[in-house]
Chain A
């Protein structure tokens, strides 16, 4: 296995994200699988930013603490990350702003001399990195053209200069050579981008959101790609308006979705209950971040599982889906649209900072996802919006089509007229319960548990969501099975138990402090033998998690 981990660090405003993106594109062109983790504080200028790009000849979806190359645009980047360096690692730094052992290039001086904007130090660094790793200048130039849309020529000029200097240095002569590996290049997608594509694939025509990290980029992406996605993005006055508008659109027959984080989701809660009662298909992307309250906005956590499962007063069915990488984000976003419309329920897609904003090599067969038609009224007799049916699902009709369509947040009769009649109330609740049952059966009939590593391994690592990348890799390395339900509510219990059969030790892994998912499993009679938790805002790195899992097994 060929692999490289590169960290580029500097201040906010130094173009770290763009540089990480360009490095990823370079390796992508050489056939590598890519994962990019981005770490930045919640501010616009200053503060320490870094991107970790990992490239591997094998499929990966996580970063490692250890790195092969550190690209430091300031002293802080050197000081903060030198612990990650191994014996053969190389440091490339701006010798005008930092001191370190390695290849120093006077990047600040160069941009000044050439009259380039200071941000183009990142391109000098990229060129130098390529030279040190033995990557051809043509690959770098190609990647810059693909990654940059402004000042392309100046970027190329800076990269060439960095390349030239590094090429003439002893660091380039050490014989490091990143070889082209078979496969690729593959589309590089953040979790947010994959969610956008999946929602569109599932028929979403209107997306409404109020900006909130880590799903703001989902709004930005859809807004920027309305034509290609066949969807319209809107940004109303609050999250309450966001979900209200989405539900109005759904009532009128248009598939809609919303995105937010914990704070905005809190404001939407009453409308989740409305979705349950009025049976309005409602798709919500909940990008978790470190909380409570405003928390640490740009850092990650898997802390909203219970909140997503139980938000909203009343007993009504819902689905909570938890993708772990870009493939699953695409797939489950399309699935969320279809589930919401098939069952006329709220569906919550749980993402988090780590999934939403990390970059993955996307390799999902998109033909596997489509917009599935919902159950529609056949036009016979008088339309009853809440007609009693065996599976609890009433056929849909929309205003403008001739039927009188009455949606109601009060308890109602089949036509949709408010009722307080004891018998009708119980019947209406029974209908929702039948729907819940139908949903549960449906989920159990789909493949809703992902298995990686050794499916027969004696040790089972059990986790959900963005922990996937690191946990699957650890399972592979220690010969364990990696088991990850994609639907957390309803729990695909049958399938999960089958996957766990024969495992002698089950270790739960979660990015929160109380093991919420393990608690949920206990409610279903599934026990874990130990838990590995992390709740410092940082996602598990693969090597870090391996160490922690091994310790927990001792």
Chain B
């Protein structure tokens, strides 16, 4: 199978030059590589997406998909995984989607270590609703709802996910396709909850190609120890999602092993194979 076999007939409507193209291509390439290596079965892949420019992934990928509501990728993804833990569950969400409207679900997915991968198309803007500030927009960002500049400081999703108990936390950049593909692969093959915050330029409402190209560096190339939570937190705080001049790390911040939610809830059971209820027996206890 080739990466192009994973495309549907849906017409692509992203703006030319949008950072989403790289994420979509990297995802297809990662899927194909994993299939070839026997690490993924295409019929077992389920992608989910929220609502926003990013969410068109569901239309564009020729795979099982659940095109959900705005902010509601994580909960259905959790349901899919619980229903059938043999499935490979990958959620694609926007920064507004995952860090705004549906933040609570993300925190809990990390806390539970549910076996899903979340790829966040973090463009620091609401793209589809034509340019308002999001939880990761820099202070002073002039969006349509904040013409005098965002009155808030951005949140740091890497630090948030580390604090929430995520067992795989990474950052990637649309401008570095090979690295991005690698991060998606690592996220998918990780056992438990994984998240990749992808710095995704939105050419129309927040063009960050230049900004990020000049600043990103690869954590792994500099020998970061991803098994050390404190170090991960330190690296996470190197950039606060603001404007400054400093460097911006990409790569794997943290990776750990912990029992997964589905392991702990299902205890080896498979919902499909649960026995029919023993009602007669239950009713006897009620006399």
CA distance A386 to B117 in the complex (A): 27
Q: Which of B74, B86, B108, B271 contacts A205 (CB 8 A)?
A: B271
Q: Contact between A399 and B82 (Cβ–Cβ < 8 Å)?
A: no
Q: Please give the distance in Å from B165's CB to the nearest CB on chain A.
A: 13
Q: Contact between A251 and B108 (Cβ–Cβ < 8 Å)?
A: no
* A8-63 contacts to B (CB < 8 Å): 25, 28
Q: Which of A28, A185, A240, A252 contacts B72 (CB 8 A)?
A: A240
CA distance A240 to B80 in the complex (A): 15
Q: Does B148 contact A (CB under 8 A)?
A: no
Q: Which of B58-66, B221-229, B234-242 is the interface stretch?
A: B58-66
Q: Contact between B272 and A253 (Cβ–Cβ < 8 Å)?
A: yes
Interface size classification for chain A: 35 or more
Chain B residue at minimum C-beta to C-beta distance from A199: B277
CA distance A230 to B270 in the complex (A): 10
Q: Which of A201, A234, A417 contacts B277 (CB 8 A)?
A: A201
Q: Which residues of B contact A189 (CB under 8 A)?
A: 283, 286
Q: Contact between A244 and B72 (Cβ–Cβ < 8 Å)?
A: yes
Q: Contact between A206 and B64 (Cβ–Cβ < 8 Å)?
A: no
Chain B residue at minimum C-beta to C-beta distance from A25: B287
Q: Contact between B87 and A252 (Cβ–Cβ < 8 Å)?
A: yes
* B23-82 contacts to A (CB < 8 Å): 43-46, 48, 51, 56, 58-59, 62-69, 72, 74-82
Name B residues whose Cβ lies closer than 8 Å to a Cβ of A: 8-10, 43-46, 48, 51, 56, 58-59, 62-69, 72, 74-84, 86-87, 104-105, 108, 265-266, 269, 271-272, 274-284, 286-287
Q: Which residues of B contact A271 (CB under 8 A)?
A: 69, 72
Q: Which residues of B contact A250 (CB under 8 A)?
A: 79, 83
Given that A232-B269, A399-B87 are contacting pairs, would A408 and B67 also be in contact in the complex, using a CB cutoff of 8 Å? yes
Q: Contact between A245 and B76 (Cβ–Cβ < 8 Å)?
A: yes
Q: List 20 A-B contacts (CB under 8 A).
A: A193-B286, A197-B279, A197-B282, A232-B266, A232-B269, A244-B68, A244-B78, A245-B79, A248-B81, A249-B80, A252-B79, A254-B272, A270-B69, A274-B68, A362-B283, A362-B286, A400-B86, A401-B43, A402-B43, A415-B8
CA distance A125 to B280 in the complex (A): 32
Q: Which of B56, B66, B69 contacts A251 (CB 8 A)?
A: B66
Q: Please give the distance in Å from B215's CB to the nearest CB on chain A.
A: 35
Q: Please give the distance in Å from B265's CB to the nearest CB on chain A.
A: 6
Q: Contact between A251 and B79 (Cβ–Cβ < 8 Å)?
A: yes
Interface string of A173-197 (1 = CB under 8 A from B): 0000000000001111100010001
Q: Which residues of B contact A186 (CB under 8 A)?
A: 287
Q: Does A407 contact B (CB under 8 A)?
A: yes
Q: Does A146 contact B (CB under 8 A)?
A: yes
Q: Which residues of B contact A201 (CB under 8 A)?
A: 277, 279
Q: Which residues of A contact B8 (CB under 8 A)?
A: 415, 417
